Chains A and B, each alone.
Chain A
Amino acid sequence: MARTFTEGSKAVAEVIRVCRPNVVSAYPITPQTHIVEELSAMVANGRLKAESVNVESEFSAASVVLGASATGARTYTATTSQGMLLMTEVLFNISGMRLPVVLTCANRAVSAPINIWNDQQDSISVRDAGWIQLYAEDIQEAADLHLQAFRIAEHPDVLLPVMVCMDGFVLTHSYEPVDLVSQEEADEFLPPYRPEYYLTPKDPLTYGAMLGPEAYMESRYQLDKALRDSSRMIVEVAGEFKKKIGRYQGALIDTYKTEDAEVILVAMGSVLSTIKEAVDKLRDEGGQKVGVLKVRSFRPFPKEEVYSALEGASDVLVMDRAFSPGSGGVLTTEVKATFCGRKSTANIKGHIIGLGGRDMTVESILNVINDRAVVSGQDKVVDLNESLLGGQKL
């Protein structure tokens, strides 16, 4: 293990390198570029022995890793925003064929209007693609998650693709001291990928067969079950990572000062650190009982864990960095669903925050907490600039 002061993208690339992928294929798109540039450099200077396939689109990047994974290779790709949407058709195919591809999503807003800055609309929009989705809070966690991701994805009980989501720019382009796992540590943690089934003339299998009405539903049921059951492996791998590598950033969820909390904020990704700062401030200055629930695994969604962490609170304030236009915050909807038919009478309030790179400051978080009693039928869109709304009333 070595502590270095490095950029988020470089830290991720270093971890991917020690995971020894056989085939890497990606198409450049901001803010994912630094990751693939770094991996290309590693291949060019011999530090990474992998086939690096420079494709002509994200669609082909996903298709290349699909074909390579089905042939028994450990595969990696990375994308964001429009690239994620272009990959979408293949994403469903990869999970449907139960291929353990690992993908980094450098979370970015989706066009139009075009915007290269951070929110989570891209990965949230493909939540139904059948992939495990894990969200990193900081650079250290983003780096560590990739090693865990391969372990989870390739486990014979799981065999599902994993999307590691890290906020674009905020985590991909900023620098922090990071502890990087060594090759020896990685090799011990992540055994070589030896799939039971793969494309080979020695045992000619058919992948991607057609299933009629008599069997399609069972196949989808099994995908759903596998995804829900992968919770166990996510927890197990996080625990083992703690034991062997010495770091723990949560498993399906993580909690911060929730034991006695009356107000709990719920979020995913890098905004959690800002929220924790606001919580500390309130506890230090006013003795308010405020805490934070970090959702680390969005798919599978840990219903029980989320409810257990929140049931004792009087107010649950959910922060969404993506939404479903015409409905509301997606995480909010999920959190509310966990309370359905339960005893807890907590007020759950949704907030749409930080879209397209809009800063979410400690001040904004404090306002959200102070305004918790103001409830409307809609999720609150935080920090709207009224002067840009052409006279529309908020």
Chain B
Amino acid sequence: MGARLVLDAAGPNIITTDATGCLEVFTTRWPQSAWGVPFIHSLFENSAAVAAGIESALKALGRTDEAKVIAQGGDGGTADIGLQCLSGMLERGHDVLYVCYDNEAYMNTGVQRSGLTPFDCDTRTSPSGKASWGNPLRKKDMPAIVAAHGAPYVATASIAYPKDVERKVKKALGIKGPKYIQIHVPCPPGWKSEPALTIKVAKLAVETGLYPVFEMEDGVVTKVRKIPKTRKPVTEYLKVQGRFKHLFKKPGGEKEIKKIQQIADENIERYGLAGEKEPVATTTQT
């Protein structure tokens, strides 16, 4: 879904790479391919470096007008195993848009924890249990890591707001240098949520402040998606997903939910999300 939005916005004149993951697996089973654009999948961790090579080749061959380069990866391929290649691509300033589809765990291999898995989330490698509330760590702050490389454009987005995704992709492709968009994409089997509620779940992540949607240009937050004036508590988001159900069942869960509420409150404070009516996006300078 995220990839379709990105491709629709980008148009036909692109060359795209993809890390190993479910997107690659279900779109390129030989002898068929779902990609109507030039596409290359190499390995799990080198989507950014392969894209850097493509961009360098286009430059060397005088073909830069032919295509924009878009690298794609999941949250694991981006924030964990692929972080070094991404860092190199950003640092060297390649004219590449990197898109991270963030479904918050290694879903292709059956729901294992990644660096972008949220706090207290139940996964197969961070299971909740008598001695565990699930993932003990908070999400790695990828947008800040990318921005620290001096990338001119960094944005987060959510499939709950498809027009916003498309706008950001188009905007990013108009900027020279390395760009990064991280798109929140629910994975119903991994999140143990109702497929029919996918958009609602994605929306709740944003509205509760757990998934801040913003744009950073040259390291400064230039635009955020405001959340409703009457704040929705994080429980509204958590309770519609099986991956957080232990928080409502085990004694002491309220305490953990408070910690998650605090993460949301911090996000709201940090990005200035509190505001007027939803879903109008307004501009704030920080």
Binding site for B on A (CB under 8 A): 22-23, 25, 50-51, 53-57, 59-60, 63-73, 75, 89-90, 93, 97, 199-212, 215
How far apart are the CA atoms of A57 and B58 in the complex, in Å? 22
Using known A-B contacts A68-B57, A72-B57, A73-B57, determine if residue A209 contacts B84 with beta carbons closer than 8 Å. no
A64 to B87, CA, bound (A): 14
The 10 closest A-B pairs by CB, nearest first: A67-B53, A63-B49, A208-B41, A71-B57, A67-B50, A73-B57, A64-B53, A63-B46, A206-B33, A68-B57
Q: Chain B contacts of A55 at CB under 8 A?
A: 49, 52, 88, 92
CB-CB under 8 A for A50 and B60, given A201-B66, A208-B42: yes
A204 touches B36 (CB 8 A): yes
Q: Could you tell me the distance between the alpha carbons of A208 and B40 in the complex, rounded to whole angstroms?
A: 6
Query: Please, what's the 1-or-0 string for B1-33, where 1 marks a CB less than 8 Å from any CB in chain A?
Result: 000000000001111010000001100111101
Q: How far is the CA of A69 from the CA of B50 in the complex (A)?
A: 10
- Within the complex, the shortest CB–CB distance from A351 to chain B, in Å, comes to 38
> Given the interface contacts A70-B40, A199-B40, A210-B25, does A60 sit within 8 Å of B46 by beta carbon?
yes
- Are A64 and B43 in contact, with the CB atoms below 8 A? no
A56 & B84 in contact (Cβ 8 Å cutoff): yes
Task: Report the bound CA distance from A89 to B39 in whole Å.
Answer: 20
Quick one: CB contact mask for B48-77 with A, threshold 8 Å, 1 for yes? 011111101111110100110000000000
Task: Taking A67-B17, A70-B40, A201-B67 as given, write out 4 further A-B residue pairs in contact, using a Cβ cutoff of 8 Å, ordered by the A residue number.
Answer: A23-B60, A55-B52, A56-B88, A210-B30
Closest Cβ neighbor of A71 among chain B residues: B57
**Which A residues are CB-close (under 8 A) to B51?**
67
B38 within 8 A of partner (CB)? yes
Q: Complex: how many Å from CA A259 to CA B77?
A: 58
The verdict on B265 contacting chain A, using a C-beta distance below 8 Å, is no
Shortest beta-carbon distance, A56 to chain B, in Å?
4
Closest to B55 in A: A67
- B39 contact set on A, CB distance < 8 A: 204-207
Known: A22-B61, A51-B57, A60-B88. A67 touches B42 (CB 8 A): yes
Q: Kindly list chain B residues whose C-beta atoms are within 8 Å of the C-beta of A65.
A: 53
- Chain A residues lying within 8 Å of B29, measured Cβ to Cβ, are 209-210, 212
A-B contact pairs, 20 of them (CB 8 A): A51-B59, A53-B56, A56-B87, A57-B84, A60-B49, A66-B46, A67-B50, A67-B54, A67-B57, A70-B53, A89-B43, A90-B43, A93-B43, A199-B15, A199-B38, A200-B15, A204-B37, A206-B33, A210-B24, A215-B31
B91 sits at the interface (CB 8 A)? yes
Q: Is the CB of B85 within 8 A of A60?
A: yes
A223 to B46, CA, bound (A): 23
Is B35 part of the contact surface with A, judged by Cβ < 8 Å? yes
Measured in the bound complex, the distance between the Cα atoms of B15 and A73 in whole Å is 15
> Is there contact, CB below 8 Å, between B85 and A73?
no
Most buried by B among A51, A70, A206: A206
A210-B25, A210-B29 are contacts. A201–B38 as well, Cβ < 8 Å? yes
In the assembled complex, which residues on chain B have CB atoms less than 8 Å from the CB atom of A206?
Answer: 28, 33, 35, 38-40
Contact check: which of B30, B42, B84, B92 meets A211 at CB < 8 Å? B30
Q: In the complex, A215→B53 CA distance in Å? A: 29
A22 vs B37: C-alpha distance when bound (angstroms): 24
Q: What is the bound-complex CA distance between A304 and B95, given in angstroms?
A: 50
* Complex Cα gap A31–B28 (Å): 40
Residues of A within 8 A of B37 (CB): 201, 204
Q: Are A59 and B85 in contact (CB-based, < 8 A)?
A: yes
Contacts of B50 in A (CB 8 A): 63-64, 66-67, 70
A274 and B211 CA atoms in complex are apart in Å by 67
In the complex with contacts A22-B61, A70-B40, A201-B13, A210-B54 CB distance below 8 A: no
A85 to B89, CA, bound (A): 22
Complex CA–CA separation, A75 to B61 (angstroms): 12
- B14 to A56, Cβ gap below 8 A? no
Q: A215: nearest residue on chain B (CB-CB)?
A: B30
Which residue of A has the minimal Cβ distance to B49?
A: A63
B114, chain A: closest CB distance, angstroms: 20
Distance, CA A106 to CA B88, complexed state (A): 24
Q: How far is the CB of B57 from chain A (nearest CB, A)?
A: 4
A11 to chain B, nearest CB (A): 24
A199 touching B85 by the CB < 8 A rule?
Answer: no
Choose among B13, B17, B46 the residue that contacts A90 (Cβ–Cβ < 8 A). B46
Bound Cα distance A382, B61 (Å): 51
Q: For the complex, what is the distance from the CA of A57 to the CA of B15, rounded to whole Å?
A: 24
**Chain B stretch 98-141: residues in CB contact (< 8 A) with chain A:** none
A64 contacts B35, C-beta separation under 8 Å = no
Q: How far is the CA of A211 from the CA of B28 in the complex (A)?
A: 9
Most buried by B among A55, A67, A211: A67
Contact A207 B41 (CB under 8 A): yes
| A205 partner residues in chain B, CB cutoff 8 A | 38-39
Contact (Cβ within 8 A) A73 B28? no
A64 to B48, CA, bound (A): 9
Whether A25 lies near B53 (C-beta < 8 A) is: yes
B46 touches A56 (CB 8 A): no
On chain B, the residues within 8 Å of A53 by CB distance are 52-53, 56, 92
Task: Determine whether the beta carbon of A68 is less than 8 Å from that of B56.
Answer: yes
- Least CB distance from A97 to B in Å reads 8
Contact A22 B28, CB 8 Å, known A63-B43, A207-B40: no
A63-B56 contact, Cβ under 8 Å, with A53-B92, A210-B24: no
With A200-B66, A201-B15 already in contact, the answer to whether A23 and B46 are too (CB < 8 A) is no
